[in-house]
Amino acid sequence: MEIWINPACSKCRSAIGLLDAEGAEYTVRRYLEDVPTEDEIREVLTRLGLEPWDITRTQEAAAKELGLKDWPRDASARDRWVRALAEHPKLIQRPIITADDGTAVVARSDEAVRDALARE
């Protein structure tokens, strides 16, 4: 199991705390420092069953600068969104847990973290 975190994020710290409390084995990826490639983002999206705009933090300054709210949300724009996430990792919703069974969850709640733990 791997968890993508920003240490400054309270939801990330909460998820780590719950994983620790449950004795889970996991790897931490500080995705602002170890930035995921476009291919890694595509893989996580497949595992999540989501589109790039579903995991984009649209209120971030970079999102506003890029004008993301006006970008199309369809297959023709998918690569553009993925590229934006790779170039501006702060836009990636967090934390994301990739489970050993090949799935992933956006773990913004204790329930989502427990869901990831149940997939081991």
Q: What is the DSSP string of 10-74?
A: HHHHHHHHHHHHTT---EEEETTTSPPPHHHHHHHHHHHT--GGGGB-TTSHHHHHHTGGGS--S
The edge-to-edge listing of strands for the beta sheet with 96-98 is 27-30, 2-5, 96-98, 104-106
Gap between the Cα atoms of 101 and 98, Å rounded: 8
State the residue for tokens 């329930």: 111
Q: Which are the catalytic amino acids?
A: 9
